[in-house]
Amino acid sequence: MLIHLLFLTSLIAAAHSHSHNATKQPLNLKPMSSSFNPKIPPRGISASKRFEGSSNLVNLRYHMGPVLSSPIKLYLIWYGRWPPSHRLLIKDFLLSISHPSSPSPSVSQWWRTLSLYSDQTAANISSRLLISGEFSDHRYSHGKSLTRLSIQSVIAAAATTAAVDHRSGAFLVLTASDVAMQDFCRAVCGFHYFTFPSEVGYTLPYAWVGNSGAQCPEVCAYPFAVPGYMAGGGPGALRPPNGDPGLDGMISVIAHELAELASNPLVNAWYAGEDPTAPTEIGDLCEGLYGSGGGGGYMGEVMRDSGGRTFNLNGRNGRKFLVQWVWSPVLKACVGPNAVN
């Protein structure tokens, strides 16, 4: 449902095998990159006891609702001041999902795990994600402090300015670093839900993710920033793949929320736990896990480029990203294309 501030200290064991050849390729495809498995400090807010490292305890179930099976038409809402270079970076990540020619391990290979989820009509999550519209709310139409409900007003205002596909559309609201959001930093770094006909005129899934760079990077741009109390103590922060903890952290949260939006768009499809108001979804199950050998405070084997920047996926335009793994309904484990045997 949301990115919890909880850090899973005992993560589910990584999947070691995967049927695609791509997962078996050596990681060091680029001569100047090296792989490593950093130990990362716990976030310190509180540690989840839910999974305790055993996939037997994970009871991910299907609850009869739809998944996003048509090509996903994403409408981006840039709320606040967004420099063009920042937009391009985030759009490169989103467009990498349907860009199979990026070098392995790639963002589109990462999304292949999503395509394994289907609904009761036997429709799988689409491998195609398009940016079908963009709205700029650079005047902060609803102020610099938003709530879960006012996000729907932001969407409603944006959606009236262009045609939105009511069948296969989804909104992604991205707030600039000077926008406060209810529970941001304290309880969530991003969330997804669906619009209400009374607010927006129809029901479509949406996700919100904020830039935490100025407000709480040690919480929401983790692991690119670490809590202040760790300074001088525990392991240092990792260098972000695109040099911007706020944005790179945001991309990691966007990946998490999109995976959950696609598999549980109306909050009645794929989740674990008994409580539909606090579902544990496919991103939550793998939070903090980015490669093989992760868990117990280790993030798993990831790569480092010649500049010391950490990444685990390649995208379009030569971009690199660090994105958590997601739960596979087939392997019943967290998986990603940078898995090593």
Give the binding site for ligand NAG (CB under 6 A): 21, 115-116, 118, 124, 329
Output 286 or 302, the one with its CB closest to ligand NAG.
Answer: 286
CB of 146 to ligand NAG, least distance (A): 36
Dihedral pair phi/psi, residue 34, rounded to 5°: -135, 155
* Residue 304 dihedral angles phi and psi, to the nearest 5°: -135, 130
Q: For residue 217, give the amino acid letter.
A: P
Smallest gap, in angstroms, from Cβ of residue 67 to ligand NAG?
10
DSSP state string for 244-311: -HHHHHHHHHHHHHHHHHHHSTTSSSEEESS-TTS-B-TTGGGTT--STT-BTTB---EEE-TT--EE
**Number of H-type helices and E-type strands within the chain:** 6, 16
User: Minimum distance between the CB of residue 341 and ligand NAG, rounded to whole angstroms?
Assistant: 13
Q: Which residue has the tokens 């480029």?
A: 305
Contact 232, 56 (CB under 8 A): no
What is residue 181's three-state secondary structure? strand
Minimum Å gap between C-beta 258 and ligand NAG is 17
**Closer CB to ligand NAG, 65 or 201, in the complex:** 65
Beta bridge partners of 7: 47
Q: In this complex, which beta carbon is closest to ligand NAG, that of residue 118 or of residue 150?
A: 118
265 or 300: whose CB is closer to ligand NAG? 265
CB neighbours of residue 297 within 10 Å: 17
Q: How far is the CB of 118 from ligand NAG (least distance, A)?
A: 4
Smallest distance from the beta carbon of 313 to ligand NAG, in angstroms? Answer: 19
Q: Output 111 or 171, the one with its CB closest to ligand NAG.
A: 111
- Stated as kind and residue range, the H or E segment containing 89 is helix 84-96
- For the bound state, the minimum distance from the C-beta of residue 26 to ligand NAG, rounded and expressed in Å, comes to 13
Dihedral Cα 159, 162, 166, 171, nearest 10 deg: -50
One-letter amino acid of 14: A
Which of 122/163 has CB closer to ligand NAG? 122
CA distance 195 to 152: 6
Compute the least distance from the CB of residue 114 to ligand NAG, in Å.
9
Nearest Cα neighbor of 322 from 243, 208, 214, 228 is 243
Based on CB atoms, which residue is closest to ligand NAG, 116 or 130? 116
Q: What are phi and psi of 235, to 5 degrees?
A: -60, 145
Distance in Å, CB of 130 to ligand NAG, minimum: 18
**Which one, 118 or 136, has the nearer CB to ligand NAG?**
118
Distance CA 185, CA 140 (A): 20
For tokens 């292949």, what's the residue? 112
Nearer to ligand NAG, 127 or 136 (CB): 127
